[in-house]
Amino acid sequence: MGTILSTGLSTNHNSTAAAKEALLQAKNKMGESRVDLSIIYSSKEYDYREVVDTIRAGTNNAPLIGASSAGEFNEEKVETGSIAVGLLSSDDIKIYNAWASGIKQDHETAIREIAAKLPSKVEGYPYLTAILHIDGLSGVGEEITLLASYLLSNEIKIVGGMAGDDFKMEKTFVFCDDDISTNAVCVCLLASKKPLFTGIKHGHKPLSKSLKVTRAQGNILYEINDRPAWEVWKEETAVAALKKGIDVEQLIDPQQIAQFFTKFILGLATDKKDAYKIRWPVSINNDGSFNFACGIAQGAVFHIMDGSDLEDHINAPKEAVRMARRFAHSAGYEEYAGILVFDCAVRQLMLQDRFCEGIDQIKKTLPDVPILGWETYGEIRMESGQFSGFHNTTSVILLLPK
């Protein structure tokens, strides 16, 4: 049989009915194959308990993972306020789920608890890939990713995302089998006979000179080059913003500032020339400090990035898929069962009605390959040997060989 991924998506307003409709669509595409894993991405408009219970009951209680989201899509539709369901069936992959809560208080204990429940190797299935779903408002996405890569396996690949809540910024949830929790992380370990392949791409270019974080605590950035963060941000972006009709001195409303940050975002320098890890300031505080979705290290060097070229953002998912396909081609794989897409919710704010064009680019790149995707509050992609795996305003791809 190899590997099969099938998907369904529903906008029905009733939670149970929507879950049943999306599940039925996916099962009809899958045929008689058994379900080895269910994946759910759900708008906050739905009752998560009803959704999870419906999917579990309809798949003979197959292992289940997922999260609340800020937008959902498959190969057929791009929606918000919907439920997307993916069903995985494979003779080449073994699946292990584990979760833990309390990550805001002690993420290290949570990941150690999960690592103790998961195998570090599986006989006959030498390739390990972890899918992480993390509370999107926990502020510890980077920390959990790094610790997971250290504790789970030296050779593991990690992808995933931070749960969303349709930009309400109130409470986000992760799903793991029957459990539905906030302040939690779920790890799904895929042990496979064949390697799985990842790709990543964003659409930002450096705008400012090189800058340094001189005061930060946790996920809050207070000072840049020993000056208040917002003061520096306005100074460095004023000319470029004015060309787009934005007077930075008139930015007062929090929603206007949040939209401004989608165009002028933080790009951390990496060990690769012209390669940056994107960090989106989620919000601004009364003192002009910024809140991020993950920790910001004091002493970090970065540029303020210009994200105003929409074509670069539209092409990002396609380029991420092409990267994953190059890796697959080099390993001798040319046929694919499916694509999992972890795509930043901020990209939806930036692209608005044009967001679907990026998904269309994926379909043109790999026609007839099923797609399951969601819009996250932070994306995860970490390969063996890397030292950072958390991203914002980025498209991350997991490509599954047939």
Q: What is the pLDDT of residue 119?
A: 94
Closest alpha carbon to 381 in 186, 172, 131: 131
pLDDT grade for 295, boundaries at 50, 70 and 90: confident
pLDDT for 192 beyond 60: yes
Closest alpha carbon to 195 in 381, 326, 331, 89: 331
pLDDT for 12 beyond 60: yes
Cα separation, 131 vs 158, whole angstroms: 6
Q: What is the pLDDT of residue 197?
A: 97
Mean pLDDT of all residues belonging to the chain: 92
Cα separation, 250 vs 256, whole angstroms: 10
CB environment 135-158: b (16+ within 10 A), e (fewer): bbbbbbbbbbbbbbbebbbeebbb
Cα separation, 188 vs 66, whole angstroms: 10
% helix / strand / coil in the chain, to the nearest 5?
Answer: 30, 35, 35
pLDDT grade for 255, boundaries at 50, 70 and 90: confident
210's tokens? 């090189």
Secondary structure (3-state) at 24: helix
Residue 187 one-letter amino acid: V
Lowest mean pLDDT among 157-166, 257-266, 327-336: 257-266
Average pLDDT over residues 240-251: 90
State the virtual CA torsion across 163, 53, 177, 30 in degrees, nearest 10: -90
**DSSP letter assigned to residue 1:** -
